[in-house]
Copies of this chain bind each other. A is one copy, B any other.
Amino acid sequence: MLKYSKQRELIEQAVVSGRAHPSASEVYNSLRPLCPNLSLGTVYRNLTLLSEKGVIQKLHMPDGSDRFDGSTHNHAHALCVSCGKVQDVGALFEPELAETGFVMTGSQLVITGFCESCAEREKIENA
């Protein structure tokens, strides 16, 4: 059973409001003025909890950093290799991306699911 906490509400707000894709420590730092005795462990705990509940989405960037996205629908992201900023990409195609000023140097698509043998063993079928 899930009980309310002010901290969780603040953490959810920090991710859901705004187009940024903050890391755990960025969420933590942004909330410290509002909640000075907030613990970093609480931030991690709730970010994981909220992503498990489907409220937010956890993203593993190709540079190894973990970031959180307030929208849970599946969409593409553009990661700046210089400053680390992550922005949403509306279209998948390079020409449209270039219109945003983003200079693409690479991309990585990772599909998750169950491989043939695991799907058989666990009796998981395509919808």
A binding-site residues for B, Cβ under 8 Å: 59-64, 66, 74, 76-83, 85, 87, 89, 92, 97-98, 100-122, 124-126
- Cβ contacts under 8 Å, A78 to chain B: 110-113, 115
Asked if B116 and A101 sit within 8 Å, CB to CB, the answer is yes
Which of A62, A81, A117, A125: most chain B CB closer than 10 A? Answer: A62
In the complex, residue of chain B having the shortest beta-carbon distance to the beta carbon of A101: B116
CB distance from A119 to the nearest CB of B (A): 5
Provide the main secondary structure of the chain A interface. Answer: mixed
Partner of A110 from the list B74, B77, B119, B121 (CB cut-off 8 Å) is: B77
- Cβ contacts under 8 Å, A119 to chain B: 101-103
Asked if B111 and A104 sit within 8 Å, CB to CB, the answer is yes
In the complex, residue of chain B having the shortest beta-carbon distance to the beta carbon of A107: B111
CA distance A104 to B85 in the complex (A): 28
Asked if B107 and A109 sit within 8 Å, CB to CB, the answer is yes
Which of A59, A60, A111: most chain B CB closer than 10 A? Answer: A111
Asked if A112 and B107 sit within 8 Å, CB to CB, the answer is yes
